[in-house]
């Protein structure tokens, strides 16, 4: 996620980070050159190319805009839903950190069960992160899991579920030992289910892109539209054509490229969600709930980007 103050007018045109302008620059240059070529022909060899009226073409442009807006909207909603899921996830971790005080027998000390439960929750957060944005999470997870679980974790088809299953077992044992009452077991169980829900919802977003047919259709139409633009507008815009074509292409492809980025809110890209940072915050807050010394620093953006 890009975190920076709103740019002033003059800065606006020189920001590159978070902009998609670099990615689509070759295309814009190509279109500008193409436009210039066509205008040259119209100007110096007017009979080499027929002239077209842009009217019917404008209709295609409006249609394209409407559908681009539709796709963009769908992508944005995926992205925002993903953020909501992680907000719920953090909330659940906090709730567990707070409610699990019920496992502590004495008002002061943290019971071993509670400690294990919350450390497993930290491990679960890292395991979910590992699934969504694979990185160097494994050593951390291993250090948090009981020895006997590590092997199962690594060989499971669904590693985070292994952690939840262990958390469940701790609760069931506490229930049977009479540490918690049956009705309080339900409260804690609901939190476990919410942890599982975060994973299921993230998987849904990660594994189910916008239907490929849309992407294909919109890309094809957008590219064809931009290649045709100079032919239709050179007639009326003259030497302004390269500039206007590049501007229109920048808007269309820019929105398209942004849609692509938002479609994958967990990918390791600048406009994605800062789930590494959120995982760290979960760890910090649960450590604080346990009264441990917190060794992790609060995550900060690097060069305006928080991952």
141 versus 273: smaller Cβ distance to a copy of itself: 273
Minimal distance, residue 129 CB to a copy of itself, in Å:
17
Instruction: List b or e across 148-186, with b for residues whose CB sees 16 or more CB atoms inside 10 angstroms.
Output: ebbeebeeeeebbbbbbebbeebbeebbeeebbeeebbe
Nearest residue (CB) to a copy of itself, 10 versus 136: 10
Query: Please, which residue, 136 or 207, has the CB nearer to a copy of itself?
Result: 207
- Residue among 46 and 56 whose Cβ is closer to a copy of itself: 56
Q: How far is the CB of 71 from a copy of itself (least distance, A)?
A: 9
Name the 3-class secondary structure at 302: strand
Residues 6+ apart with CB under 8 A from 196: 161, 164
- Contacts of 263 by beta carbon, 8 Å cutoff, 6+ apart: 75, 78, 79, 209, 210
In the complex with a copy of itself, which residue's Cβ is closer, 144 or 273? Answer: 273
| Contact assessment for residue 145 and residue 165, using Cβ atoms and an 8 Å cutoff | no
Query: Shortest Cβ distance from residue 60 to a copy of itself (Å)?
Result: 6
**Helix, strand and coil percent figures for the chain, each rounded to 5:** 75, 0, 25
CB of 290 to a copy of itself, least distance (A): 11
Nearer to a copy of itself among residue 18 and residue 138 (C-beta): 18
- Distance of closest approach, residue 155 Cβ to a copy of itself, in angstroms: 10
Closest distance between a copy of itself and the C-beta of residue 301, in Å? 11
Q: Give the count of beta carbons closer than 10 Å to the beta carbon of residue 190.
A: 13
CA atoms within 13 A on the CB side of 288: 11
Taking each helix axis from N to C end, the angle separating 112-132 and 182-207, rounded to the nearest 10 degrees, works out to 10
């Amino acid at each position: 996620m890009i975190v920076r103050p709103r740019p002033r007018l003059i800065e606006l045109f020189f920001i590159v980070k978070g902009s998609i302008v670099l990615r689509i620059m070759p295309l814009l240059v190509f279109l500008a050159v193409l436009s210039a070529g066509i205008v040259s022909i119209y100007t110096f060899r007017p009979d080499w190319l027929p002239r077209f009226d842009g009217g019917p073409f404008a209709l295609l442009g409006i249609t394209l805009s409407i559908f681009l807006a539709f796709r963009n909207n769908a992508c944005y909603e995926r992205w925002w839903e993903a953020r909501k899921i992680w907000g719920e996830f953090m909330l659940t971790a906090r709730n567990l950190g707070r409610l699990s005080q019920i496992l502590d027998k004495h008002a002061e000390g943290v019971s071993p069960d509670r400690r294990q439960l919350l450390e497993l929750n930290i491990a679960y957060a890292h395991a979910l992160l590992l699934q969504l944005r694979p990185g160097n999470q494994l050593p951390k997870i291993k250090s948090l899991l009981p020895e006997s679980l590590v092997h199962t974790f690594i060989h499971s088809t669904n590693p985070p579920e292994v952690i939840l299953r262990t958390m469940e077992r701790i609760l069931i044992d506490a229930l049977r030992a009479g540490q918690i009452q049956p009705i309080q077991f339900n409260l804690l169980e609901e939190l476990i289910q919410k942890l599982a829900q975060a994973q299921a919802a993230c998987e849904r977003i990660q594994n189910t892109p916008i239907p490929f047919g849309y992407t294909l259709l919109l890309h094809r139409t957008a590219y064809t539209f931009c290649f045709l633009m100079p032919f239709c507008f050179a007639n009326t815009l003259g030497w302004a054509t390269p500039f206007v074509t590049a501007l229109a292409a920048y808007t269309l492809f820019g929105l398209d490229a942004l849609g692509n980025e938002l479609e994958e809110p967990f990918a390791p890209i600048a406009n994605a969600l800062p789930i590494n940072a959120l995982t760290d915050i979960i760890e910090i807050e649960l450590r604080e709930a346990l009264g441990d010394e917190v060794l992790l620093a609060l995550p900060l953006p690097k060069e305006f980007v928080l991952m």
